[in-house]
Amino acid sequence: MTGTFINVTAIIVGCLLGIFFGARLSDNLKNTVVAGMGLFTTAIGFQMSLKTENPLIVLGALIVGGLLGEWSQIENRIQLMGIWLEKRVTGGSEGSSSRFVRGFLSASLLFCTGPMAVLGSISDGLRGDYLTLSIKSVLDGIISIAFASTLGVGVAFSALPVFAYQGSISLLAAQLNSIMSNSMMNEMTATGGILLIGIGISSLLEIKKIRVGSFLPSLIVAPLISYILSLLIK
């Protein structure tokens, strides 16, 4: 859970910086930093994608995983969950729509619902690789600065659901470590790298909108295909 601890710390530190210094940072500076992170994320994703031992496994995982993701409407369900939670919290009394609550809600949804949170937590739990969560931590820290400068200290408390959500995924993934072979991990890593490229292109660089969330099942499909092929070859 090292990556999750780093992520939580980055959110809290970013919030404190946002409260005290956020208003002094220009939009151009923030946008430039995010663009730099987009380029870096895309490059890391490309590096991870080269770990595959059989590119056809990654292709198959993306196709099957994408079909499963669209069939189950993962991306839409994530968005609907955010809308539902926002209505539940801000739709009541005047106190429920306070700046604190809006900051906490907005930051929590943004930090927890992205594919990078799932991908990074799985990598951290399975292999102790917290690179993806470290990248996410930098992004979340920057976003925390921007959010906290306008919405206040409530943003810092979003670290609590992030810790619970990502920590749970990492602990669950750690239990699967004993049954995951190196080949299965390599294919999952390569597939995750493709998703990171998608995040860089879509969310950070904003070159083309990609429903990356719909491809999350691919992270399960890739090692499964690798496992089935290993049984057939024997």
- Tell me how far apart the alpha carbons of residues 188 and 197 are, in angstroms, rounded to a whole number: 14
Residues 6+ apart with CB under 8 A from 179: none
Q: How far is CA 49 from CA 43, 139, 183, 188, in A?
A: 10, 21, 13, 9
- Please report the pLDDT score of residue 105 as a whole number: 66
Query: What average pLDDT values come out for the chain (234 residues) when binned by 10 residues?
Result: 92 90 75 80 87 94 94 74 58 52 69 75 86 89 82 81 88 80 86 86 82 84 92 80
Q: Tell me the per-residue pLDDT of 102-126, one tens digit each, with 9 for 90 and over.
A: 677 667 767 876 667 878 888 888 8
Q: What pLDDT score was predicted for residue 108?
A: 72
Phi and psi at 136, nearest 5°, equal -60, -35
What are the structure tokens assigned to 70, written together?
A: 């669209």
Tokens describing residue 89:
């919290």
Question: Model pTM?
Answer: 0.73
10: number of Cβ within 10 Å: 24
How confident is the model at residue 118, as a pLDDT?
78
**Looking at residue 112, what is its pLDDT?**
74
